[in-house]
Structure 1
C-alpha cells in the first residue's frame, strides 16, 4: 500500500481543510496543510488519523511541546514527525527566530522528498502576509534535495526537509548550504 502523509505548518489566515500542495503518484500521496494556530493542529491531526492518513510531519515552528501533544493525540496509531535543528544550525535558527519575531520578511523552503516527485510541477510558492515566501517543492530523492537547496540557498533564511528517515538523509542538504549558513531542519519521528 502506498504512503498517505500530511505535512502541517502554521500560517496566518490558513484553512486546515484545504491542501496547499498535493504530490500524488504510484509512491503514494503527500499533502501540505496549514493551520492558523497550534490548537488547530491537534484537531487536524486527530481528523487526519480518523481519515486514514498513515504519517504526519510537523513544521519546526510548532516546537517540542506541540509535537508531544500531537503524539499523544494520535495514541500511537501513526508516526508523528517534527522538524528539529542540529547543533550546526542553532546560531542561524536563533537569528531566524529573532528576525521573525521582529516582523522581518523572511523566505524559506520546505523541500519534500517523495519518490517520483517532479520539482518543476510539484511546487507552490506561498506569499506570506508579513512579506517573504514559503516555497514548497517536491523532489524525488535526497540527491535532488541537496542540489535544489544549493541553488536556492542565497535567497533563503531557512530550509525544512520533509519525507526523509532522519539526519543521515539530510546530511547532503546541510552540506549543500553550509557556505550560505542556512539552517536546515531535519525530521524526527515519534510513535
Structure 2
C-alpha cells in the first residue's frame, strides 16, 4: 500500500479543502493543508480518514489537547502525529510563542521528509500580509533536512520536521541549526 500522508497546520484564512503543497511520486503522496481555525482540523481529519489517508501529522501550534482530539477523530484507523519540542528547543519555542502573541513578524519552515523529494523543486513559500512567511520544503531524507535547515536557519524563528523517524531523524536538523532556531519533531498518538 502506498503512503498517503497529510500534514495540517493553522493559518489565517486557510482552506481545509485545498492542498497547499503536494508531493506525489513512487514513494507515495504527501499533502499539506491549512485550516483557518483549529476546530476545523477535527472535521478535516474525519473526512481524510474516510478518504483513505494512511498517516496524519499536526503542526506544533495545535498542542496536546488538539492532538488528542485529532486521535479521537481518526478513530484509531491511522497514526496521528503532532510536533513537539525537545528540551534544547524550549527557550526558543517559548520566545517564538511570545513574539507571535505580540504580533511580531516571524518566519518558519516546515521540512517534510518524503523519499525522492527534490528540495530545490518541492518548495512552497506563503508570504503573509504581516511580512512573515511559512516555507514548506520537501526533502528526500533527514540528512538533507539537516542541510536545508542549516542553510535556512539564519532567516527563521522556527523549524518543524515532518515525516522523520523521531529523535534520531531530528538530530541532523538540530545539530545543523546549533541552537539558533527551535526544532520540533513529530510524536505519535496510537
> Into which bin does the TM-score normalised by the smaller protein fall?
over 0.9
Number of aligned residue pairs: give it.
190
Aligned to 1:131: 131
What is the deviation of 1:190? 1.4
SS in structure 1 of the partner of residue 147 of structure 2: helix
SS in structure 1 of the partner of residue 61 of structure 2: coil
- In the alignment, structure 1 segments of 5+ residues that lack a partner are none
- In the alignment, structure 2 segments of 5+ residues that lack a partner are none
Q: Within 5 Å, which residues of 2 pair with 1:145-184?
A: 145-179=145-179, 181-184=180-183
- In structure 1, how many angstroms separate the alpha carbons of the residues matched to 2:163 and 2:81? 9
What is the deviation of 1:165? 2.1
Q: CA RMSD in A?
A: 0.7
- In structure 1, how many angstroms separate the alpha carbons of the residues matched to 2:186 and 2:37? 21
Give the TM-score normalised by structure 2: 0.98
- In structure 1, how many angstroms separate the alpha carbons of the residues matched to 2:165 and 2:77? 18
SS in structure 2 of the partner of residue 17 of structure 1: coil
CA deviation profile, 1:153-179 (whole Å, cap 9, x unmatched): 000000000001211110110000015
SS in structure 2 of the partner of residue 13 of structure 1: coil
CA deviation profile, 1:24-56 (whole Å, cap 9, x unmatched): 000000000000111100010000000000100
- In structure 2, how many angstroms separate the alpha carbons of the residues matched to 1:93 and 1:131? 20
SS in structure 2 of the partner of residue 14 of structure 1: coil
Q: Within 5 Å, which residues of 2 pair with 1:9-48?
A: 9-48=9-48
- In structure 2, how many angstroms separate the alpha carbons of the residues matched to 1:138 and 1:123? 6
Query: CA contact under 8 A between 1:92 and 1:183: conserved in structure 2?
Result: yes
Aligned to 2:188: 189
